[in-house]
């Protein structure tokens, strides 16, 4: 019975994190066929354990216990669209502008840090 619940859980993850959930079905518009492409990742963790509570006398067990748990999830990220026509097949990447902007901000901060540090070192040498 518990194994069936586990497989039901895996099925729920699959239904929520797949290419179809991200984009939907492939589309045919006129003579073009649009095929969605996504990066899909799943993660799963399980843990089980048992233990004993020692009694007052040596070798005596007052109580025992066991337990377990688990969890998991999945994510589907759109990465491209493949456009197929009679003349050509073209891959159109999907650019995450948030990641590009964060990378630019990080690079600006990194450069500012090193420029400031260099100026401080140079001023310290001149003061001597």
**For residue 101, what pLDDT is reported?**
94
**For residue 54, what pLDDT is reported?**
82
pTM of the model: 0.49
**For residue 128, what pLDDT is reported?**
67
Alpha carbon 118 to its chain centroid, in Å, reads 38
The ranges of the chain with pLDDT < 70 are 1, 18-19, 21-24, 128
Q: Which residue shows structure tokens 């502008």?
A: 97
**For residue 89, what pLDDT is reported?**
92
Residue 48 phi, psi dihedral angles, 5° rounding: -140, 155
Ordered by start, the domain boundaries in the chain are 2-94, 96-128
**For residue 21, what pLDDT is reported?**
67
**H or E stretch covering 67:** strand 61-84
Q: Cβ atoms within 10 A of the Cβ of 101, count?
A: 10
Distance CA 17, CA 44 (A): 13
């Amino acid at each position: 019975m518990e194994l069936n619940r586990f497989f039901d859980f895996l099925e729920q993850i699959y239904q929520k994190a797949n290419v179809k959930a991200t984009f939907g079905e492939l589309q045919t518009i006129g003579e073009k066929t649009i095929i969605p492409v996504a990066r899909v990742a799943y993660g799963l963790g399980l843990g089980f354990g048992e233990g004993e509570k020692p009694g007052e006398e040596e070798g005596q067990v007052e109580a025992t216990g066991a337990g377990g748990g688990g969890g998991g999830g999945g994510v589907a990220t759109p990465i491209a669209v493949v456009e197929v026509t009679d003349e050509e097949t073209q891959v159109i990447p999907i650019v995450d502008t948030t990641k590009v902007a964060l990378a630019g901000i990080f690079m600006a901060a990194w450069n500012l840090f090193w420029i400031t540090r260099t100026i401080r070192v140079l001023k310290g040498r001149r003061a001597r």
